[in-house]
Structure formats: structure tokens, C-alpha cells
């Protein structure tokens, strides 16, 4: 008689290496510049010209009106090797790109209309939100077009543009849908940064402070030395910070043994559960970097109050954020009533769902050293939020100084 319970297993194992260069440069669209051409032609195995769709952040296009002409001229100068799919696609800048699923749909339609195939390129030029949206559309079209990212904000060059994730918001939930899709190349061109608003200029430093607290004490001390120069918009201070921050993120993805985040631990999401909740609560009027600064303060305060983080370390973190110009609470018109507080705390539940059912929050034990915990006392977390808001009960014991106006204009 046949054994109905018998199971046969054919074991399938695939090992697929991913490799991509992350360049730091200036003037990428100067005709004689090699970097772009190399990236676009290095994989061309046949004699065909590389076909490239250009997706340009509309905020960047407005701030740098000469850029479109430079892109056109660059493609004309190299039209024997590369071919630009016309027209240039102007993508709504900022979180608008991620909030409206119509933008994603419009991009996929444009890629198909332009006749792109899996050997074609999509070049995404813009802030982290545009890179996330274009990256998602490129990853799904024909199951994956080749993506070249040119990040144009400090945050995108230091963090959002160099990793392997993309995604858009859905139903009010931040990054609710997306994929893991390593890019083909990343070109960080520092010249783009000149036209950023003060708010967007400093935003990337929040991610640098985050990764320093998680991974690198000496980087934290360098940030302390550079704080005022970063706030004054000195390029010679910002560039090494972007390079180090990007390198630390790349090392984590490469060496952390979990590039596609299958496990629960997300050390580089330190401060992010509250940041994402605040962004969504404020209907995305709080910019990501400033929301991350708030999330870092909150989890630092909580870790200190639990007795897990020594007070001098908590004070140093608050002081660095103050000196860089981050508000204790990003100034968005929110009513900090009971409902707002409980919605913010629900961010912990969202984060748990996002992780796969088990809460795993990264908290600092020292600067440069963190641990993971599921032990979050919501009452104490709510008190910490209240304390950050300035209505603290035991203010004198807190490392938080009363809110003072920072120079950044919102």
C-alpha cells in the first residue's frame, strides 16, 4: 500500500552575490566626468546602447533650473554609448511621492511606455522619498530594472540612497509596501547639496548621530567637534560626515549577516519606531531626519529612566542634538493631547507588526553600544514623551534641558 504520509524534499539553495559601487564625487553631469558613463556601460554585454529613463525630483529641478539642460547635454555628448528615454520624468519631491500610489503607477506606466527592458536603466535623482518611490517602481517593472541612484540630500547620501531598500507609504502607514532591491550603482555628488533648505541640510546629521550611537563612539566624538560647523552649513564638515555615515550603513548591510532583514533585530532603526509614528501623525509635515532626532531623544530618555544608560551619555546625546539645531519636538502643529500620545505609542505596535510579530527595540547602553529589548514599559514611555514636551514632572532629574528656540527655520 502507498504511504500517503511520505514526504520528499528536494533541497534548493541559491547563492546570489550582490555588488554595487558607491561613489563620492562632484559635477557628475560634467561632460568629461567618467563615473556616470562607466556605471551605465560597464554591464552592457552586447553592442546595444544603454537605454536610460531619468526620474528627477521636482523640488531639486526647481532649486537647480539649469540641471535639466545639463542632463540633456550630457546624454547628447555620449549619444554613441547611451540613449536617454524622453521626456525626463519629474517626480513630486518629498513624502508626496511616497504617499500617493498614483505616482508609483505613473512611473511604471512611463517605464513600460518608454520600452525599457531588464537591461535598461532607471536613473533616480533626488531626495530619499523620490529614490524610495522610483526604486520601488523600478524593482517591480519587468521584475527589476537596473537602478542608478543619484541622492541629492544629506540624508539620502548618508543613508537612504546607499542601502538595499525601497518602498512607499500605504493607508497612512509609513513604508508599508516595498522591496529589497540592491541598486546597480550609487553616485553621491556633493554639488547637489548647495540648494538644500537649512532643515534638509541638517536632516542627514540625525542619521549620522543615530549610527554613531549604535556603532561608533569615535564618530560620535567627531560629530561633537563638528556640530557648530555642520549647523553653519560648512561643506568641509558635512562631506566627511556623509562619507562616514554611508560607510557605516554599508558595513552594517554587508557584515551584519542580515541584509534583507529576516531577523528581528534592526539596530540601525534606533529611534525609528517613534520617528515613523510622528511622521505619520503629522501627516508627513515632519521631515524624516527631524523625526529621527525626536525618536533618538525619546529612546535615550527612556533608556536613561530605566537605568540602562548612564546619565552623562544621555546628556551628551541631547547636547549634540541641541548643538546641531534639532528641536526637542519638531515644530509641527500637533495637539499633544491624550489621543496624540496614545497614537504615538501605537507606533510600537506598528513597529512590532513590521518586524514580524515580536517587538525588538534597540536602545543604547553606552555611546557606540546598544542592546535589543522587548521590555517596553508604556507608562514610562508615555512619561518620557510628556517630559520631552516640556511638561515634565521630574524635570530636575532629567537630562533634558527646557526647549529653546533653535536657529533652523521651518
Ligand X SMILES: NC(=O)c1ccc[n+]([C@@H]2O[C@H](COP(=O)([O-])OP(=O)(O)OC[C@H]3O[C@@H](n4cnc5c(N)ncnc54)[C@H](O)[C@@H]3O)[C@@H](O)[C@H]2O)c1
User: What grid cell was written down for 357?
Assistant: 510579530
159 forms part of the interface with ligand X (CB under 6 A): yes
137 forms part of the interface with ligand X (CB under 6 A): no
Binding mask 73-112 for ligand X (x = CB under 6 A): --------------------xxx--x--------------
Burial of 142 (0-12, 13-18, 19+ CB in 10 A): middle
183 forms part of the interface with ligand X (CB under 6 A): no
- Report in angstroms how near the CB of residue 122 gets to ligand X at its nearest: 15
Binding mask 34-63 for ligand X (x = CB under 6 A): -----------------------x-xx--x
Q: What b/e readout covers 206-244, taking b as 16+ CB neighbours within 10 angstroms?
A: bbbbbbbbbbbeebbebbbebbeebbeeeeebbbebbbb
Report the distance separating Cα 304 and Cα 398, nearest Å.
Answer: 9
Instruction: Render 109-152 in DSSP notation, one character per residue.
Output: HHHHHTT--TT-EEEEEE-HHHHHHHHHHHHHGGG--EEEEEE-
Nearer to ligand X by Cβ, of 242 and 301: the residue is 242
322 forms part of the interface with ligand X (CB under 6 A): no
Nearer to ligand X by Cβ, of 130 and 324: the residue is 130
Nearer to ligand X by Cβ, of 94 and 347: the residue is 94
| Binders in 196-215 for ligand X, by CB under 6 A | 196, 200, 203
Query: Which of the stretches 81-89, 148-156, 216-224, 225-233 binds ligand X when contact is defined by CB under 6 A?
Result: 148-156
| Binders in 335-364 for ligand X, by CB under 6 A | none
Reading phi first (left if > 0) and then psi (alpha if -120 to 50, else beta), residue 242 is in: alpha
Nearer to ligand X by Cβ, of 248 and 400: the residue is 248
Q: How far is CA 349 from CA 86, 137, 277, 346, 359, in A?
A: 44, 28, 10, 5, 8
Binding mask 273-292 for ligand X (x = CB under 6 A): ---------------xx---
Question: Are 126 and 93 within 8 A, CB to CB?
Answer: yes
Q: Which of 129, 208, 212, 400 binds ligand X (CB under 6 A)?
A: 129
Query: Which of the stretches 35-43, 156-164, 221-229, 254-262 binds ligand X when contact is defined by CB under 6 A?
Result: 156-164
User: What grid cell was written down for 208?
Assistant: 549620522
- Number of Cβ within a 10 Å radius of residue 3: 6
Is residue 87 reached through a cis peptide bond, with omega within 30 degrees of 0 on the bond before it? yes
Beta strands in 278-392 (DSSP E): 361-366, 369-373
Total binding residues toward ligand X, as defined by CB under 6 A? 31
Query: Which of the stretches 13-21, 43-51, 160-168, 344-352 binds ligand X when contact is defined by CB under 6 A?
Result: 160-168
195 forms part of the interface with ligand X (CB under 6 A): yes
User: What grid cell was written down for 110?
Assistant: 512611463
Residues of this chain that bind ligand X (CB under 6 A):
57, 59-60, 63, 93-95, 98, 126-130, 132, 152-153, 155-156, 159-160, 163, 165-166, 192-193, 195-196, 200, 203, 288-289
Amino acid at each position: 500500500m502507498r504511504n500517503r504520509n511520505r514526504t520528499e524534499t528536494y533541497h534548493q539553495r541559491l547563492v546570489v552575490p550582490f555588488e554595487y559601487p558607491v561613489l563620492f564625487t562632484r559635477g557628475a553631469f560634467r561632460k568629461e566626468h567618467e563615473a556616470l558613463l562607466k556605471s551605465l556601460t560597464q554591464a552592457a554585454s552586447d553592442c546595444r546602447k544603454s537605454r536610460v529613463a531619468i526620474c528627477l525630483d521636482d523640488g531639486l529641478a526647481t532649486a537647480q533650473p539649469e540641471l535639466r539642460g545639463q542632463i540633456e547635454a550630457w546624454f547628447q555628448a555620449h549619444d554613441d554609448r547611451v540613449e536617454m528615454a524622453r521626456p525626463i520624468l519629474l517626480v513630486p519631491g518629498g513624502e508626496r511621492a511616497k504617499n500617493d500610489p498614483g505616482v508609483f503607477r505613473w512611473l511604471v506606466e512611463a517605464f513600460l511606455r518608454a520600452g525599457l527592458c531588464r537591461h535598461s536603466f532607471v536613473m533616480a535623482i533626488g531626495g530619499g522619498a523620490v529614490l524610495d518611490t522610483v526604486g520601488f517602481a523600478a524593482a517591480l517593472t519587468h521584475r527589476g530594472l537596473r537602478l542608478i541612484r543619484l541622492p541629492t540630500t544629506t540624508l539620502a547620501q548618508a543613508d537612504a540612497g546607499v542601502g538595499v531598500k525601497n518602498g512607499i507609504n500605504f493607508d497612512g502607514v509609513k513604508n508599508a509596501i516595498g522591496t529589497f532591491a540592491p541598486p546597480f550603482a550609487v553616485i553621491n555628488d556633493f554639488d547637489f547639496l548647495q540648494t538644500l533648505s537649512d532643515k534638509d541640510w541638517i536632516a542627514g546629521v540625525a542619521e549620522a548621530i543615530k549610527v554613531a550611537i549604535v556603532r561608533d563612539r569615535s564618530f560620535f566624538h567627531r560629530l561633537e567637534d563638528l556640530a557648530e560647523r555642520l549647523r553653519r552649513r560648512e561643506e568641509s564638515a558635512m562631506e566627511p560626515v556623509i562619507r562616514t555615515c554611508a560607510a557605516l550603513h554599508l558595513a552594517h548591510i554587508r557584515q551584519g549577516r542580515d541584509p534583507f532583514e529576516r531577523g528581528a533585530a534592526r539596530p540601525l532603526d534606533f529611534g525609528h519606531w517613534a520617528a515613523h509614528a510622528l511622521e505619520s501623525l503629522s501627516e508627513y509635515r515632519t521631515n524624516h531626519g527631524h523625526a529621527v532626532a525626536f525618536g533618538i531623544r525619546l529612546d535615550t530618555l527612556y533608556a536613561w529612566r530605566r537605568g540602562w544608560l548612564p546619565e552623562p551619555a544621555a546628556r551628551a546625546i541631547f547636547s549634540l542634538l541641541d548643538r546641531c539645531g534639532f528641536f526637542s519636538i519638531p515644530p509641527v502643529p500637533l495637539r499633544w493631547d491624550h489621543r496624540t500620545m496614545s497614537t504615538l505609542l501605537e507606533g510600537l505596535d506598528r513597529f512590532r507588526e513590521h518586524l514580524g510579530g515580536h517587538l525588538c527595540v534597540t536602545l543604547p547602553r553606552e555611546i557606540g553600544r546598544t542592546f535589543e529589548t522587548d521590555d517596553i514599559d508604556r507608562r514610562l514611555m508615555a512619561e518620557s514623551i510628556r517630559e520631552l514636551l516640556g511638561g515634565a514632572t521630574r524635570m530636575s532629574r532629567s537630562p533634558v534641558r527646557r526647549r529653546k528656540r533653535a536657529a533652523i527655520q521651518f
